[in-house]
Structure 1
Amino acid sequence: MADEDVQEIGEGKARVLLPKSVFYNPVQEFNRDLTVSILSQFAEEHVAEQLAKARHKSKRAGEKVQPQGSEGGHESATEQKDAGDGAEKESQETILTAGVKCNEGLRIFEGLAASGLRSIRFGLEVPGVKEVIANDFDKNAVGFIERNIAKNDLTGLVNSSYGDASMVMYQNKDFASRFDVIDLDPYGSAVQFLDSAVQAVQEGGLLCVTCTDAAVLCGNAGETCFAKYGSLSLHAKYCHEMALRVLLHCIGSHANRYSRYIVPLLSLSVDFYVRVFVRVYTGQKHVKMAVTKTSMVYHCVGCGSFALQPLATAVPTKGDNHKFVPGAGPPVGPACEHCGHKHQIGGPIWSAPVHDVDFIDKMLERIQRDASLFGTSERMIGMLSVAREELQHVPLYYILDDLCNVLHCSPPNMVQMRSALLHAGYKVSLSHAAKNSYKTDAPAKVIWDVMRCWVKDHPVSAKRLVEGSVALGILQQPPALQASFLPHPDANPTSRQKGLVRWQQNPEPDWGPKPRARRKEGKDAKGQNAKTQTEKGQLGKRNCEEVDFAVSCDQ
């Protein structure tokens, strides 16, 4: 490709070359910034673990063969320890330098690298990296990857690869050749790569998975979701969190087939996609517990109330063993107890925590310390802070506006609603996945009792309460508790008090996902493709970051 057809894009410390026909989507900078930060924290922990293993191995060898000291050359144990600690500290500082190869560091595989922007940033910005493999199944993309590696002086640290991502991972599933980190960020669903990914990641390694088929995951095509992910998604107000839990269930299910299990570190519903970071371990005992972390969802089509049905429970037996008992249900009657309507059934979904709070705390500390390194640091801090505040053992959420729409009443403000639930003795939090959301351990009956108390002081127009309506069915029942809407000390979340940037504001028109990238083979195909795109009025603005690269797109 001629130089006049190439543009240069800068992001983070990277400068990469892209075809001018490519539409670069700056919204995805948040995705890459977050991944760079998470890998930096993970690399730090990984290198520390490797050094600890090496010290332990050396210590065991030293116990078997004690070296003899020369006369007058003996050092005290304290002096030896101080010297060792100093050397270790110096070694670690040398190892954990971004852009410098670390033999104890991470082997990172990006399966669908396109131009390689993400991999280039890993090489330049993540300290403690041994190797980054930027793979794509498009020769044009691999050509740009190689040019960008040379442009950023990363030869030897970042390497290009041409091949089908799944096949490359299958070829590296042996223990000695597994990857420490696998990053999958395709256009659409990543489900076709999961079987190979869960086998090719090291013990305790990190999977970073993006799916942009939000319409499928959020219930617009439940049958398609079931075919792809093995779960039936529901088009409900909590659909964005359900999408995360469907994906986690799918990843966990693939891992379980190989006696492996997942531990989520961070799971986010962001803009037009979902992004999850999970560690993968091996252990049959933990694999058996997966059934207790899986639930079906019963959703009322009238009032929107929901209930979860775990597939099984673990009953402790002798020692630390468990007996697994199938779930007893359903958790609802033939008709909704609140409004009398029927229920839809969705799932199965991952119903265990989706975040690791301790890891988020480390991430927040790191980002606040290195805020100047990231263009989206404010939003990263805001999103992580809200995720940190979430009730970790409470799946899904309610939307206050939706509750009020059901009853046709004026809404209480956020502090009033949270105060009523807190005064009633329940916990409540926001969800990062939706504005005006309420995650609470209060049962649906309590939530509707709170709304009944609110309506007593803020009456609904009589013409709204027609016979057979959902609103009338709910309001006809007297509340079993007397809700207090007086301000509670914990009603206003810290993230809101600090005014953190919590949700994406539309940065520009048409900022969402772009059409799928198409492969170009030869001049004729290129000309025909350009003609087609011109007719559609979309020339030069097709996918996102790298349009011409068919298999992958780092949106």
Structure 2
Amino acid sequence: MSADPVPGDSAQNGQGNGTSEEEKKDDITIVQEGKARVAFHGPVFYNPVQEFNRDLTVLVLRQFVADREKASAEIQNATNGTGDEEPATKRRKVAENDQSGNIRILDALSASGLRALRFSQEVPNVDFILANDFSENAVESIKCNIDLNGVQDKVRANFGDAIMTMMQHRSLEKRFHAVDLDPYGTASNFLDSGVQCVAENGILMVTCTDMAVLCGNTPEACYTKYGAVTTRTKCCHEMALRILLRAIDTQANRYARYIEPLLSVSVDFYVRVFVRVKTGAREAKDSGIKVGNVLVCSGCHSMEIAPILRKHVDGKSVKYLPYIIKHTLLDGNNKCVHCSHPVHHIGPIYTAPIHDKVFVQSLLQQLKATQEEERLGTHNRLLGVLTTVHEELDDVPLYYEAGQMMNICKSPMPKLINVRSAILNAGFRVSGSHCCPKGIKTDATLDFLWDVIRYQAQSANVRRERLHETSPGFTILGKEIKYLILKKYF
């Protein structure tokens, strides 16, 4: 269900950086965003902060359509090149994967209909968009806004429960090529029906705004909603993305389906993921090797991923076996090897890449090729976020914040570029994170990272005896530096 009058698309405060415009007539306020105009009666509940969310969705849908056109050229018929038909089973498979023709979009929690209206005018090759809401007032508003924009041939208003509406579109011929779930709060109760009503190779777009839950304030609430336990860490925003992705994939697996993340972002007060939904019992089994738990030290916040399943391939034989524990974070007393503090066990989370680098590169190319007069309202921010996303190490789950690690040892923070340079010089890879400006994603070992912190502390003349004996920093500084750290960086 959606809140009345405007959930997801609207909150009562916030400032945007886009190009929305307002026009007032009597008690009606008309807001223009992109090519769409929306009329609000009485107080305005339009939230310009969400313009970035909507711009990003338009951008992704444009690329989704472009990719479909490219794919349809390759599988436009089910012949083997000689004019003879392929076997019936292969023809059915081709038909299911057929990506020709215009797309059908579901805006499941439409509110004012702003998203649907923008899709109808800014996304090419759209057959129709179903703008659904469970508020009669919202549906009437959608109908008025459809007339205001003159898109009666593309947008249909529908009064109905979002879950029931999606369940009514589970059959192959009724499925949507793109489904947008943008509720106010959690989207967890919409995921089961959401993964069922997306067409093969379709795209599911999900927003969650319950960041307090996803970021560890209430681990029991996170477990009941997403089937995972989390704790408060500096990388909690990426953790939130991975918890959500795992929840979506788990729901899809129940129907022999699985997801391929195209883009996952944490911005402002929400997380937003774009995933491709596919069908295949064999591939769905691989979801188990894309999931893991996380060991997190309560003292120094060191982390270690603990996979759940491993895949063993021997010729044509494929077996899935429980992962053999090889913990490097725990000592003989089940305490952290770095600071001797207790270690938390959280998860499970999605551990595979959360972005498709090729897809993100296509988004960037699309942005850069857009003429200035046709640019989206948040063009510059989109360019910045997607550039950072594209530079992220996609095979390194989670990240550390250098400032937090330095603070544990009471060491002043050097320039971030120096920390990254020291890591690169040692032969490891490193990148930033779009979730945190000071974040460091790296495949460097924790032993090396703490050696960097120890070296910086020594360079800054940090005295170990000034730290409390039970503090994690006291234990960390008491260990010798084993790696070669170049002095020029500190």
Report how far residue 354 of structure 1 moved: 0.1
Structure 1 equivalent of residue 449 of structure 2: 447
Q: Deviations over 1:471-502 (max 9, x none)?
A: 110010001112125469xxxxxxxxxxxxxx
Q: Under a length normalisation based on structure 2, what TM-score does the superposition of the two structures give?
A: 0.88
Structure 1 equivalent of residue 187 of structure 2: 190
Report how far residue 51 of structure 1 moved: 4.8
Q: Under a length normalisation based on structure 1, what TM-score does the superposition of the two structures give?
A: 0.78
Residue number among 57, 60, 65 corresponding to 1:43 in the alignment: 65
Question: Which SS does the other structure have where 1:177 is aligned?
Answer: coil
Residue number among 424, 449, 454 corresponding to 1:422 in the alignment: 424
CA separation in 1, counterparts of 2:185 and 2:411? Answer: 39
Structure 2 equivalent of residue 219 of structure 1: 216
Question: Which SS does the other structure have where 1:402 is aligned?
Answer: helix
Question: Which SS does the other structure have where 2:39 is aligned?
Answer: strand
CA separation in 1, counterparts of 2:375 and 2:102? Answer: 21
Contact 2:419–2:489 (CA under 8 A) maintained in structure 1: no
Report how far residue 293 of structure 1 moved: 0.5
Residue number among 484, 489, 495 corresponding to 2:486 in the alignment: 484
Residue number among 12, 18, 35 corresponding to 2:40 in the alignment: 18
Q: Which of the two has higher C-alpha Rg?
A: 1
CA separation in 1, counterparts of 2:27 and 2:74? Answer: 50
Indicate whether 1:302 and 2:324 are aligned.
no
Structure 2 equivalent of residue 82 of structure 1: none
Contact 1:416–1:485 (CA under 8 A) maintained in structure 2: no
Please list every run of 5 or more consecutive structure 1 residues that lacks an aligned counterpart in the other structure. 65-101, 489-555
Report how far residue 454 of structure 1 moved: 1.5
Question: Which SS does the other structure have where 1:483 is aligned?
Answer: coil
**Which region of structure 1 is more displaced relative to structure 2, 323-332 or 35-44?**
323-332
Residue number among 115, 119, 123 corresponding to 2:116 in the alignment: 119
CA separation in 1, counterparts of 2:172 and 2:341? Answer: 53
AA of the residue aligned to 2:227: G
Please list every run of 5 or more consecutive structure 2 residues that lacks an aligned counterpart in the other structure. 6-23, 86-98
Indicate whether 1:387 and 2:384 are aligned.
no
Question: Which SS does the other structure have where 1:104 is aligned?
Answer: coil
Report how far residue 60 of structure 1 moved: 6.5
CA separation in 2, counterparts of 1:485 and 1:350? Answer: 38
Contact 1:408–1:460 (CA under 8 A) maintained in structure 2: yes
AA of the residue aligned to 2:307: P
| Count of residue pairs brought into register by the alignment | 449
Q: Deviations over 1:370-424 (max 9, x none)?
A: 2542110111011011110111010000001101110101111111100111111
AA of the residue aligned to 2:170: K
AA of the residue aligned to 1:29: E
Residue number among 146, 149, 158 corresponding to 2:146 in the alignment: 149
Identify which of structures 1 and 2 has the higher relative contact order when contacts are C-alpha pairs closer than 8 Å and 6+ apart.
1
Question: Which SS does the other structure have where 1:347 is aligned?
Answer: strand
Structure 2 equivalent of residue 346 of structure 1: 346
Question: Which SS does the other structure have where 2:26 is aligned?
Answer: helix
Indicate whether 1:328 and 2:324 are aligned.
yes
Indicate whether 1:291 and 2:288 are aligned.
yes
CA separation in 2, counterparts of 1:103 and 1:304? Answer: 49
Question: Which SS does the other structure have where 1:156 is aligned?
Answer: coil
AA of the residue aligned to 1:397: Y
AA of the residue aligned to 1:226: Y
* Cα distance change, pair 463–58 in 1 and its aligned pair in 2 (3 A): closer
Contact 2:464–2:477 (CA under 8 A) maintained in structure 1: no
Contact 2:215–2:240 (CA under 8 A) maintained in structure 1: yes
CA separation in 2, counterparts of 1:294 and 1:258? Answer: 18
Structure 2 equivalent of residue 90 of structure 1: none
AA of the residue aligned to 2:281: Q
Report how far residue 330 of structure 1 moved: 5.7
AA of the residue aligned to 1:141: A
Structure 1 equivalent of residue 315 of structure 2: 318
Residue number among 398, 408, 411 corresponding to 1:409 in the alignment: 411
Question: Which SS does the other structure have where 1:298 is aligned?
Answer: strand
Report how far residue 313 of structure 1 moved: 1.1
Contact 1:303–1:406 (CA under 8 A) maintained in structure 2: yes
**Which region of structure 1 is more displaced relative to structure 2, 284-293 or 240-249?**
284-293
Q: Deviations over 1:484-525 (max 9, x none)?
A: 25469xxxxxxxxxxxxxxxxxxxxxxxxxxxxxxxxxxxxx
CA separation in 2, counterparts of 1:185 and 1:299? Answer: 31
Residue number among 210, 232, 236 corresponding to 1:235 in the alignment: 232
Contact 2:262–2:274 (CA under 8 A) maintained in structure 1: yes
Report how far residue 456 of structure 1 moved: 1.8
Question: Which SS does the other structure have where 1:210 is aligned?
Answer: strand
Q: Deviations over 1:148-191 (max 9, x none)?
A: 11111111111111101110110110011110000000000011
Q: Deviations over 1:25-48 (max 9, x none)?
A: 111100000000100010122233
Indicate whether 1:458 and 2:454 are aligned.
no
Contact 1:264–1:355 (CA under 8 A) maintained in structure 2: yes
Question: Which SS does the other structure have where 1:425 is aligned?
Answer: coil
Contact 2:163–2:193 (CA under 8 A) maintained in structure 1: yes
Report how far residue 249 of structure 1 moved: 0.3
AA of the residue aligned to 1:451: I
Report how far residue 24 of structure 1 moved: 1.5
Structure 2 equivalent of residue 369 of structure 1: 369
Report how far residue 323 of structure 1 moved: 1.6
Q: Deviations over 1:307-355 (max 9, x none)?
A: 0100011121123x42212112261320101100010111000000000
Aligned ranges for residues 145-294 of structure 1 at < 5 Å? 145-294=142-291
